[in-house]
Every structure is written in C-alpha cells, then in structure tokens.
Structure 1
Amino acid sequence: MLMIIVALSGCASTPTVRLAQAPRNDAGFKPPAAPVDTTAILKISTEMQHFLNKEVRLQARQSDKKRGLFDALQRDSKVTLDYDSSITKTAAETFASRSGNCLSLVLMTAAMAHYLDLPIHYQQVFLDESWSRVGNLYVSSGHVNIILGTKNSNYSAQLDDFNTLLIDFLPGPQAYKQRSVSLSEAQVIAMFLNNRAAELLAQNQIDDAYWHAVAALQTEPNFQPAHNTLGVIYRRHGDLALAETVFRQILATEPNNVIALSNLVEALQFMGKPTEAALQLAALRQIQAYPPFHFFNLGQHAMAQARYAEARSLFEQEAKRDPYNEETHFWLAQANLHLGDLSEASRQLSLARDHSTTPGAQDMYSKKLKALTALSQQR
C-alpha cells in the first residue's frame, strides 16, 4: 500500500474539534535549505503594482476597483493566466510566470486585492473527489476560490450579488454550483505551506518538507491536512512511532478519515504490527471498499501481461470513479490502441490532454494525438 497525502489546496476543512498538538522532532531534521518565509506568500511585487496602477486603477475611474480587478483577471485578457499544478507558487511567482494552480492564482488575486484595499473572502469548494500520483505518493486534490467584496448574510455563491464578485480559475461552471465554506487567511497560508511540504516530500527533500509542515501548523494549528503531511514525513523519515501518534490523533477527532486511516495501516505494517494493521484495514474497507487507483493498478498489471480487453475494462471502471484523471485516460488510449480501436484511442488521448494540469503534459498528449491521427489517416 502506498502512502496517501493531502497535498493540494482545499482538500479537507479544519475540524471543529481541536486536534491534539502534533509531536515535534526538530532535532531529528537538518535546518531548511532556506528559511521558511511566510511573509513572502502574499507579498506583492513591483511588477504587480505597475499592472494594478495601469490596468485597474485607471478602470476604477469609470467603475470601481473591485470590478476593475475582476475584469482585468477574468474578462478583458489584461493578463493571460495558465493553469499549472506542477508547483504551488507565491503570489509574486504566480504573476511573474503567469501560471499556477488554483491556490497560487487565489493568492495572487488576494495580494492584488490587499494592495487595492479591497475586502476579500476565501472559499473551499467541495468538488468530486480527485486523486493523482506523484512518485510513490497518492495525492488528494481540492479547490479554493476567492470573493471580492463584502458578503451579505444570505450570500449564495453566485457570480455577483451586487456586493461581491467571485473569481474562480477552475475552467467551466463546476465550482459555481458546488457547496463551499469560508476559509480564514491563516488557513489559506497553511494550505500553501502544506502544499509545498508535500511537493518537497515528493522530491525526497524530507528535511525541507518537515519545516514547511511545521510552519503550516504554526500558522494554523488545527489544519488537519498539515497534521497528516507531518505524519507521512515522519513515516518517510523512519520515525514510525511519531507517525503512528499523529495519525491516531487525527482519527481521535475524525474516526472515518480514510486518509489518516490508510496511512495508519501502512505505518503499522512497517512497524511489524500485522494484527493491529489488519484490524485497522478492516475498518478502512468498511468506509472505502476500494482504495484510490485500485482498478488503475489492476489495469496496468493486465496491460503488462497483454490482456488488453481486461485492462480496458479495468481502466473504464477507474474512469467512472474519477473521470478527470489524465493518467487513466492515457492508459485507456493505450489499451484501445492495442485492441485496434484507433477512434476510441484518439478520444481518450484528447481527454487526457484536456484533463492534464501542466503545460508539459498537455504538450506530450498533443504530440501523441497528432501521431495517432497521422496513423489513422494511413489506414
């Protein structure tokens, strides 16, 4: 069983029950390569100030700053922004690269709003569960957006209620229709630090990952995903007893937390406690019949043994569970290609490209799609 970590923004709300303070092991980790500077996360750059003074303050003379910022980012193409989930960036880094994941883009917008003295509200949006893989980590993804203006008491998360404007960088109308909850700025900062901890862990930079997870908990002590990330860091570092403690602390407040329970099972197995691990696994399966990527992994095994029809069926089951995972569509394309269905292979490659979240992946799928189209025309 691979470890599961909550890595991307908005995956879990902060529990109302206070979590126990997670154990620290500062002496067991090397100092960070660079200090963890939380003030840099929302710091506005000179380039951003110039943009706002030119594109937003000028428009504000005709309307207002709130509408000016909204139009500059979402309507008038004053700045072209690309979605890129490869790394979580600060506000300034996001603007400089003109790209970022939903959290990075929200932080950039928040920094701009602060500069313009606009009130803002952060929101966690509850979308369908989505998983991805980074190395040997499984990642549960969430979503956040931002509201410009002051919400009234019966705010309904629509685009505009005359007092507010919702900025959401998720393509399509999905997020506008979903349930959401408000987040504090401390929670959003903790999300950033937790994301960076997970990204560093995926790169095997365990010491730096530890200090980012610690900073996340110092910013928001009750931020549950950071507790889980810290537990996974302890597990990777060999601090198994500390990892077990952290996962059990999470489960003490939320017994049905499948992420913490999955990680506890894995830690117990490595600690040589098979009986306890089996009991926890049985509890987990009562909540979650199949783990993330269950059918996907079986499909890959079938592909390796050239059982392409079986593999296609398994990948199709995985696609039903998570229709937005690019890897599943890519492997479905390969299975269909082996079965001689070039039309379906092309359709699945198109879906893989459309659901990819990094420019590199989009370029790769586009090239494969072009090659497959050329092959189809030769037949």
Structure 2
Amino acid sequence: MRVFFCLVIICLAGCNSTPDTVKPPAQLLTDHSFTPVTIESKNDVFALSENSIAKMEAEISRSLDKRLTTRSLIKYIFAPENQSLNYLTGATLTAEETFNSKDANCLSLSIMAHSMAKHFGLESRFQQVFIPEYWASENGYSLLTGHVNLRLKRPSASNVALTSTVYDTVGDLIVDFNPSSFRQKFRTQIISEDVILAMFYNNKGAAAMINREYDLAYSYFSAAIESAPQYSSSFGNLGVLYRINNQLEQAELAYNHALLLDNNNNTAKGNLARLYDLTGRESKAAAIRTALEHKRSQNPYYAIAKGNEALYQKDFERAIKLFKKSIRLDRTLHESHFGLAKAYFYIGDISGALSELEEAEKHAYFDSEKQRYRGKIMSLSAQLVQ
C-alpha cells in the first residue's frame, strides 16, 4: 500500500472556512530533531527580475485604459512564440524561474501570471478549482493533486480577444493553464497569496520528502504553516514526514489537527488509518477506510490511482480491472487508457496496449502528451511488424 500525501498543486482539502483561533499543538512546530534549512522567501517566490521586467516592458503595451493593458498581457502570455509553455504536474517553480523556463505546473504558471499582472497595475486573484480528487504517482508515492487558476479583474466590459485558455466570466477574465478543468465548470473559491505561498511550500516539501531530504521538507512544511496556519494540508503533509521518521505520536497529532481544520481532508483521514494500522488499532483504521472507499467509489481518478498502485505491485490483472472501471466511469480520461495500455503491455498483449495508447492519444489535451503517446505507439507498432 502506498502512502498518500498531498502534493499541493493545489490540494483539494484545506480551503474550507475554519475558525481563526484554531491553533496547532506547540510541539508540532518546535521539533528539534530536524535542522532548519534556508528556503525561498515570499519575495523570492513572487518577484520577477529586472531582466524579465525589461522583456515584458518591451512586449506589453501600457495604457491609461487598463482594458488595453489587459489585452496586451493576455496576448503576450499566450502568444504563439510563447506556446512552449509546458504544463508539468510536478514542476513547482518561482515566478522568475517559470518566466525563463516555461516548464511548470498550474500553481507556478498562475504565480507568474499574477506577478506579471501586478507589475502592470492589474488586479488579479487566485482561485482554487474544486476538481475531483486526483492522484499522480512518483517514486512509489501517490500524490494528491488539485488545480488553481487566476482571476484577472477587467476594469469594465470590453471586447478582449480570448484564447482557448482564457475564459470570460462576469466582468473578469480567468487565466487557466489547464483548459480541461473547464470541461465540467467546477466550483471555484478565491484564495489569498498567503495560501498560494503555503501551497508552493507544500509542493517543495513533498518533493524534498520523496528525495529523503527530511530537514528541507520540515523547513518547507513549517514555512507553509507560518504562511497560512489554517491550511489543513500542511499539517497532513507534516504528519507524513513524522510517520516516515517513525515519530508516530507527532504524526497522529498532525493528522488530527489537519482534520480539526478541515474534516473533509480525505488524504489526512487515509494517512490516519495507516497510522492506526501501524499502532494496532485495526478496527479504527477499517472504519475510516470503509467510509473513504464508499465516498470515492464513483471517482474515476481514484480507480486510476488504485490501478497505478496495482501496477507498482505487479498485480496486472487487478490493474486491468481498475483501469477498466475508470473507463466505465469516464472514458474521456487519457490516464485511464494509458494505465490500461501499460497493464496490457506487461502481460504481453501488444495489440491491446496499442489500442489503448491510441485512445490515450485521442483524449490527451496537451501536445506534449499527444507526442509522448505517439512515440510509444510508433515504438510498439514496430515491435508488431517484427
């Protein structure tokens, strides 16, 4: 069984309204078993360099009419020459790093766009997008992911040219680097810069934890809690760090505080169930898992996560059943077809693998994904010819 923890791009849980007076147990934030490490400041995360600003100033037109400035900014971000923007789920970068690399996740891309808008005097706010629970796999971990975008306030009604990734709302523009999130018009919620910063730190902490850089992970999670003390997911991730380091009492405190802040933090519940198993409280663990399984039974992304887990355990027949279940729930998800293709490949069914890869390519949203699937199709087709 893999450990589930939140890779906060963004984490689904943790943005519900909670009392400002809820304070964490003091021992969670004064742990001397970890050595503090210097990490990015808030300014480091949001700032753009003079060189980057000069590039923007040369390309983006300033105007007393902020509608024209807005149009120019949008055209610059989504101009054909900038379409090298690559949406990478795991790449968490600062605004400056994103501006120069163009390879980043929705959180980093939204931070960059926010900083650019702010420089030109435009008002923007971050939004959490309440997509279904979705997991990505990395080095044996299942990482819960989510989505954010940017609401760019439009001074007044105007005929701003929109691209496929900018969506019109009442009076505002939504800048979204993953247009697939708009397929089902998911509910959104405004979140602050401080919460976005906490999400950034959680992503970096999760990456450090996977790499076994535990001092660095603790520093990031602590900074996340300092930035947004009511953000549940930071405590859930801190609990995973404690559990990995066999500090089970601390882990339980962290999970319970995460749930005190947000009782809908399913990832913290699942990790608490794992902790109950480790400490001989199997009946409590089973009760949590039964409730979670019922809640997630109709979520195709959960079936994908369990299918990937089965692949990792080399239980290919179970993986096939789970990916087929996900396809029955929603056949438009390319991840389901790709998972099924991998399972077919491992059992030697090359024709089945090819068929599912073609489905994955058909349903993929991004050119980079389509190209990846096309390369695998060509490789497998060559094997069939031989």
Q: TM-score range by the shorter chain?
A: 0.7 to 0.9
Count of paired positions: 367
Distance in 2 between the 1:287 and 1:176 partners?
20
Distance in 2 between the 1:173 and 1:77 partners?
24
Structure 2 residue 97 is the aligned partner of structure 1 residue 93: yes
SS at match of 1:2: coil
Structure 2 residue 35 is the aligned partner of structure 1 residue 30: yes
The structure-2 alpha-carbon separation of the partners of 1:219 and 1:62, relative to structure 1 and needing over 3 Å to count, comes to closer
Q: Deviations over 1:348-368 (max 9, x none)?
A: 224556759896x87764432
Match for residue 265 of structure 1 among 264, 273, 276: 273
Distance in 2 between the 1:178 and 1:40 partners?
31
SS at match of 1:139: strand
Q: Deviations over 1:302-348 (max 9, x none)?
A: 756xx5xx753443124446768766533422444556562x52242
Matched letter for residue 198 of structure 1: A
Structure 2 residue 11 is the aligned partner of structure 1 residue 14: no
Match of 1:179 in 2: 187
Report the Cα offset of residue 298 of structure 1. 4.4
Distance in 2 between the 1:49 and 1:146 partners?
20
SS at match of 1:12: coil
Contact in 1 for aligned 2:180/2:365 (Cα 8 Å): no
**Which consecutive unaligned segments of at least 5 residues does structure 2 have?**
157-165
Match for residue 246 of structure 2 among 215, 225, 238: 238
SS at match of 1:177: coil
Distance in 1 between the 2:241 and 2:314 partners?
32
Match of 1:164 in 2: 172
TM-score w.r.t. length of structure 2: 0.82
The structure-2 alpha-carbon separation of the partners of 1:88 and 1:334, relative to structure 1 and needing over 3 Å to count, comes to closer
Match of 1:112 in 2: 116
The structure-2 alpha-carbon separation of the partners of 1:95 and 1:322, relative to structure 1 and needing over 3 Å to count, comes to farther
SS at match of 1:44: coil
Q: How does 1:339-358 map to 2 (within 5 A)?
A: 340=349, 342=351, 344-350=352-358, 352=360, 355=364
Distance in 2 between the 1:99 and 1:180 partners?
25
Matched letter for residue 148 of structure 1: L
Distance in 1 between the 2:58 and 2:64 partners?
10
Distance in 2 between the 1:369 and 1:140 partners?
29
RMSD value over aligned CA atoms? 3.4
Matched letter for residue 60 of structure 2: V
Deviates further, 179-188 or 284-293? 284-293
Distance in 2 between the 1:207 and 1:28 partners?
9
Structure 2 residue 132 is the aligned partner of structure 1 residue 139: no
Match of 1:228 in 2: 236
Deviates further, 171-180 or 244-253? 171-180
SS at match of 1:87: coil
Contact in 2 for aligned 1:59/1:68 (Cα 8 Å): no
Distance in 1 between the 2:54 and 2:293 partners?
54
SS at match of 2:77: helix
Match of 2:74 in 1: 70
Distance in 2 between the 1:44 and 1:193 partners?
18
SS at match of 1:28: coil
Matched letter for residue 88 of structure 2: D
The structure-2 alpha-carbon separation of the partners of 1:227 and 1:72, relative to structure 1 and needing over 3 Å to count, comes to same
Distance in 1 between the 2:365 and 2:240 partners?
26
Percent identity, please: 26
TM-score w.r.t. length of structure 1: 0.83
Contact in 2 for aligned 1:187/1:219 (Cα 8 Å): yes
Report the Cα offset of residue 122 of structure 1. 0.9
SS at match of 2:39: coil
Distance in 2 between the 1:70 and 1:231 partners?
40
Matched letter for residue 69 of structure 2: K
Match of 2:43 in 1: 39
Matched letter for residue 21 of structure 1: P
Q: Deviations over 1:216-272 (max 9, x none)?
A: 110110011111111111111221101111212233354453211111111122234
Match of 2:256 in 1: 248
Q: How does 1:40-59 map to 2 (within 5 A)?
A: 40-57=44-61
Match of 1:4 in 2: 4
Deviates further, 260-269 or 283-292? 283-292
Distance in 1 between the 2:350 and 2:330 partners?
23
**Which consecutive unaligned segments of at least 5 residues does structure 1 have?**
153-157
